[in-house]
Structure 1
Amino acid sequence: MNQDQLKRMSEGKGFIAALDQSGGSTPKALKNYGINEDRYSTDEEMFNLVHEMRTRIITSPSFTSQHILAAILFENTMERRIDDRLTADYLWEVKGIIPILKVDKGLAEEEDGVRPMKPIPGLDDLLARAKERHIFGTKMRSVIKKANPEGIKKIIDQQFEIGLKIAQAGLVPILEPEIDIYSSDKAECERIMKEEMKKHLAELPQDTRIMFKLSIPDKHGFYSDIMEDPHVIRVVALSGGYSRQEANERLSRSPGLIASFSRALSEGLNVDQTAGEFDRMLAQSIKEIYEASIT
């Protein structure tokens, strides 16, 4: 583990840029960027276009370590290059931004009010490649839709089981048990989930370090006790479908919680913008998300 990156993640000010749209979410990300599906006919063409979009974001003068701690990458992006450097190396060596890798393969069907992760075949090989490519940590997402104690326990058990394996491989896992912001019993989901998280934290080996990526809680400061756990490097928040303005407003009311936004970060960016228009829009987004993350 890179100790400079660990120190920055633990103590630095800023937020995490989530640039990890995968096969299932890439068409929507491209559409929001102004590229419709009639512009590509194969997955390779689609991934080329989204890499161009990510490269434009990462190389923007506004995308700097002054405001951004880390960026989450899709596996396809990890294997590609920006200015003749592998993406993770460009992020850290040129921008001073920590590279993180999405490792999950999407969501299984809903059962017991939750959607766990699909199996992750070849995880050991992926983690080995991630280390070779100087990745700091990983991220994996599952979703909680209802306050079903059995289902929520299943989600947290799965997250910690795989997270411990990732930590043992020398990477920092970000556990992401997202709670659907439209759940009718979101606050109860949060209560049940936090109790399960605390049970697992109490059983972790002393030297194991992890992070959490969570939906912004209804109760301000709800995850403060999780942040204080010695195993937890950072707790970050996903935007979860809120607009950037609403996500920032909610985030600013939760001390210690920082952003890890995807759609909210890229909101307003368009393929047809000039370099100046694109950079100004991105700079405004970054400024707003940063300010909400440090309050």
Structure 2
Amino acid sequence: MVNDAQAERMKSGQGFIAALDQSGGSTPKALSAYGIPPSDYSTEAEMFDLIHRMRTRIVMSPAFGGDRVLAAILFEETINRAFGGKPAADFLWHDKGVVPFLKIDKGLADAADGVQLMKPIPELDALLDSAVQHGIFGTKERSVIGDANRAGIAAIVEQQFEVARRVLSHGLVPILEPEVTITIPDKAAAESILLEQITTHLADLPDDQHVMVKLSLPTVTNVYRPLTEHPRVLRVVALSGGYTRAEADALLAEDIGEIASFSRALTEGLSAQQSDAEFDATLDRAIQSIYDASVSPTAP
């Protein structure tokens, strides 16, 4: 059963989504950017302990709260851990007013037809049951588009909606994330095909079901406006996709109706070596700039 208060917050609240879902493959790079090199840990368990400390420092900061951060996406391992002595998802919602989401994909398959589908997600239903028990509102699942290949993009969107239907059956709200690589030469064409495919699949959703969509910042400003206005789409969110925070903020501020869901751009400038005061001030500036880009412009 979808939490009505959280659903209303995600539908009409002002702010952005903090993507705190770095997984096994992306964690070493995130830690290095945070000032913790691979030489500081020797096992996967140590690595996950260190990234959890970083996440804990972020969410426990006075700069991080529901006044500007609508939601946070968590890695599966995180929901079994605690923030401030409380279960992670409970702390986010009850102490910070931040809606908890869960990353459920298991990484990317090998490239074919210009795209990378999601790898199979074993025991998906058990994972979704666990998410419900932990008070998670929704999920996020990522695949990647590397070419304006119609067959490949169609396969990506089909798989995204197949997973989304299973998520919806558990009373959770899925975030579909078919990421378009920002460096490809035919990015605008890929985004046009992607919009067409998503729109087609949305038409098959029942009236009482809603999804969210997480997309790369588009080449053509407001190309995804039809999705932000679609009755089956709760929210359209943008990933930073390799842009610096300043670049991502500037692009996002031009797109009506989209809000941020940044990961690396959110943590840019944070360091394990900073004092608490320096850390909190740096995070506050990052949150404010992303918030400002997410609430502007508004539709006429």
Q: Give the equivalent residue in structure 2 for 1:208.
A: 209
Q: Give the equivalent residue in structure 1 for 2:96.
A: 95
Partner Cα separation in structure 2 for residue 128 and residue 164 of structure 1: 14
2:213 counterpart letter in structure 1:
F
Query: What are the within-5 Å matches in structure 2 for residues 62-211 of structure 1?
Result: 62-211=63-212
State TM-score, norm by structure 2: 0.98
Q: Give the equivalent residue in structure 2 for 1:277.
A: 278
Distance apart, 1:124 and its partner CA: 0.4
Q: Secondary structure, in 3 states, of the residue corresponding to 2:273?
A: coil
Q: CA RMSD in A?
A: 0.5
Q: Per-residue CA shift, 1:54-89, capped at 9, x if unaligned?
A: 000000000011100000000011110112211000
Query: Does structure 1 conserve the Cα–Cα contact (< 8 Å) formed by 2:240 and 2:248?
Result: yes
Q: Give the equivalent residue in structure 2 for 1:238.
A: 239
Q: Give the equivalent residue in structure 2 for 1:16.
A: 17
2:271 counterpart letter in structure 1:
N
Query: Does structure 1 conserve the Cα–Cα contact (< 8 Å) formed by 2:18 and 2:73?
Result: yes
Q: Per-residue CA shift, 1:131-172, capped at 9, x if unaligned?
A: 000000000000000000000000000000110110111000
Q: Give the equivalent residue in structure 1 for 2:37.
A: 36
Partner Cα separation in structure 1 for residue 42 and residue 290 of structure 2: 35
Q: Give the equivalent residue in structure 1 for 2:221.
A: 220
Q: Percent identity?
A: 55
How many residues end up aligned between the 2 structures?
Answer: 295
Mind listing any 5+ residue stretches in structure 1 that lack a counterpart?
none
Q: Give the equivalent residue in structure 2 for 1:46.
A: 47
2:144 counterpart letter in structure 1:
V
Partner Cα separation in structure 2 for residue 53 and residue 185 of structure 1: 37
Q: Per-residue CA shift, 1:91-131, capped at 9, x if unaligned?
A: 00100000000000000011000001000001100000000
1:134 counterpart letter in structure 2:
G
Partner Cα separation in structure 1 for residue 293 and residue 205 of structure 2: 31
Distance apart, 1:226 and its partner CA: 1.0
Distance apart, 1:52 and its partner CA: 0.3
Partner Cα separation in structure 1 for residue 85 and residue 216 of structure 2: 36
Q: Secondary structure, in 3 states, of the residue corresponding to 2:203?
A: helix
Partner Cα separation in structure 1 for residue 95 and residue 237 of structure 2: 24
Q: Give the equivalent residue in structure 2 for 1:288.
A: 289
Q: Secondary structure, in 3 states, of the residue corresponding to 1:54?
A: helix
1:7 counterpart letter in structure 2:
E
Q: Secondary structure, in 3 states, of the residue corresponding to 1:236?
A: strand
Partner Cα separation in structure 1 for residue 149 and residue 83 of structure 2: 44
Distance apart, 1:42 and its partner CA: 0.7
State TM-score, norm by structure 1: 0.99
2:220 counterpart letter in structure 1:
K
Distance apart, 1:227 and its partner CA: 1.3
Q: Give the equivalent residue in structure 2 for 1:264.
A: 265
1:20 counterpart letter in structure 2:
D
Partner Cα separation in structure 1 for residue 259 and residue 77 of structure 2: 26
Query: Does structure 1 conserve the Cα–Cα contact (< 8 Å) formed by 2:60 and 2:84?
Result: no
2:286 counterpart letter in structure 1:
S
1:18 counterpart letter in structure 2:
A
Partner Cα separation in structure 2 for residue 29 and residue 238 of structure 1: 16
Partner Cα separation in structure 2 for residue 2 and residue 209 of structure 1: 13
Partner Cα separation in structure 2 for residue 132 and residue 85 of structure 1: 15
Query: Does structure 1 conserve the Cα–Cα contact (< 8 Å) formed by 2:176 and 2:211?
Result: yes
